[in-house]
Amino acid sequence: MENIHLTSSEKGYLWVNYMVDSMAVCCLSYYLEKCEDDEIREVISYALDISRVHVELISKILSKENHPIPIGFTNEDVNLSAPRLFSDEFVLFYLHQLANLGLTYYSKTLGMTAREDVHNFYKECISSSTELNSRTKDLLLSKGLYVRPPYIPNESQPEMIQKIGYLKGFLGEKRALLTSLEIANLFFNLQTIEVTKTLLTGFTQVVESKDVRDFLTRGKEISTKMIKELKSILENEELSSSTPWYTYVSDSTQSPFSDKLIMFHFAIVNGGGIEQYGFSLASMMRRDIGAKYYQLLAEMMTFADDGMNLMIKNKWVEQPPMAVKRTDLKNI
């Protein structure tokens, strides 16, 4: 293994992982500092330990390759003495959503790594994310906070699709929203957006930069519109939708995190949302709903571009590992 160098995908995924986990150490340290519920405190502590181990292991792998360790996020990006911003219950739900997104990310990453130490690292990441998913879900259930997707009746027997117009939805009669995958993806997307809106609600009131505040306010408006549109699809079929979490925000105006960390946080959340919408679109069988996902994806990608430009303007973006520009090496 000593003679096997890291591939571009392995370097890239490890770099992203370091950035995200160093950010998570800051966030979880603050949430742990403010937590009053002993059971939730135990789960936050477990998640914090995971992120700290990830940062340490990735640093060792990159150091052996003589690859520079990213700056990431440090104690300068968190203020543990800042007042509570979110309730313990919301932080628990937030951790559950992060565990879900982590499972998706790590599963994809595992399939694109070959070197033994990196491959084993991502196997462990999947294992720890699975455990975090179980712990947060079990605690949400025990506290009566877990929101289940809508129930649908059992079918009497398997059936084949009979109508050619099954995929339609723009004109004429729309078929009922009966496929379980469409319901599941709509519901999961709603829960993710509700968490995002809650974070935006809290962070908008504490950031220092007016440009960042304006950007986050715009994100909150986009989230509100998305929630309304996706909820309407479920409610039009008389199916239950998600529970709003934005009420679990304090009135604090003192930021626990740097503006740089908050902007990076939403770059990651928005990127995860885009990937999630893409997956939902691939499993969508009704054209009108597919068109809605296309519209939301376009808006999210524009929002992501504007956020990246704002971060670059403030010199908050680290450059990921890149290929060599061979034309610059020519002896002309």
What percentage of the chain exceeds 90 in pLDDT? 59
Q: Is residue 169 predicted with pLDDT exceeding 80?
A: no
Confidence of residue 246 (pLDDT cuts 50, 70, 90): low
The pLDDT assigned to 175 comes to: 53
Would you state the pLDDT for residue 163?
A: 59
CATH topology identical between 8-142 and 168-313:
yes
pLDDT surpassing 90 at residue 150: no
Which H or E run contains 126? helix 116-142
Render 272-316 in DSSP notation, one character per residue: HHHHHHHHHHHT---HHHHHHHHHHHHHHHHHHHHHHHHHHHTT-
What is the structure's pLDDT at 239?
80
Residue 159 has pLDDT above 80, yes or no: no
Q: What is the DSSP string of 80-116?
A: TTSPP-B-HHHHHHHHHHHHHHHHHHHHHHHTT--SH
Tens digit of each residue's pLDDT (9 = 90 or more) over 200-234: 999 999 999 999 999 999 999 999 999 998 888 88
Work out the average pLDDT over 298-326.
Answer: 88
What's the rounded Cα separation, in Å, for the pair 196 and 88?
16
Q: How far is C-alpha 37 from the chain's CA centre?
A: 24
Least confident range from 129-133, 166-170, 260-264: namely 166-170
Fold of 168-313: Ferritin (1.20.1260)
| 223 CB-contact burial (10 Å; exposed 0-12 / middle 13-18 / buried 19+) | buried
Decide: 22 and 55 in contact? Cβ < 8 Å: yes
- How is residue 330 written in tokens? 């020519």
Tell me what the pLDDT averaged over the chain comes to.
88
As a whole number, mean pLDDT of residues 148-154 equals 76
Instruction: Say which CATH topology domain 8-142 has.
Output: Ferritin (1.20.1260)
Distance (Å, whole) CA 167 – CA 291? 12
Q: Which of 222, 194, 231 lies closest to 301, judged by CA?
A: 222
Both tokens of 245, joined, read: 């979490």
The ranges assigned to domains in the chain are 8-142, 168-313
Give the pLDDT of residue 253: 95
Lowest mean pLDDT among 144-158, 259-273, 289-303: 144-158
Q: What is the mean pLDDT of residues 196-201?
A: 93
143-157, 158-172, 175-189, 198-212 — which is least confidently predicted?
Answer: 158-172
- Summarize the confidence of residues 287-314 as an average pLDDT: 90
DSSP state string for 7-38: PHHHHHHHHHHHHHHHHHHHHHHHHHHH---H
Report whether 15 contacts 52 (CB < 8 A): no
Please, are residues 314 and 260 in contact by the beta-carbon 8 Å criterion?
Answer: yes
Q: What are the C-alpha distances in Å from 149 to residues 129, 162, 198, 238, 289?
A: 21, 27, 20, 13, 18
pLDDT in tens, 36-54: 999 999 999 999 999 999 9
Q: Give the residue among 307, 320, 323 at the shortest CA–CA distance from 266.
A: 307
| pLDDT at residue 71 greater than cutoff 80 | yes
Of the pLDDT bands very low, low, confident and very high (cuts 50, 70, 90), residue 176 is: low
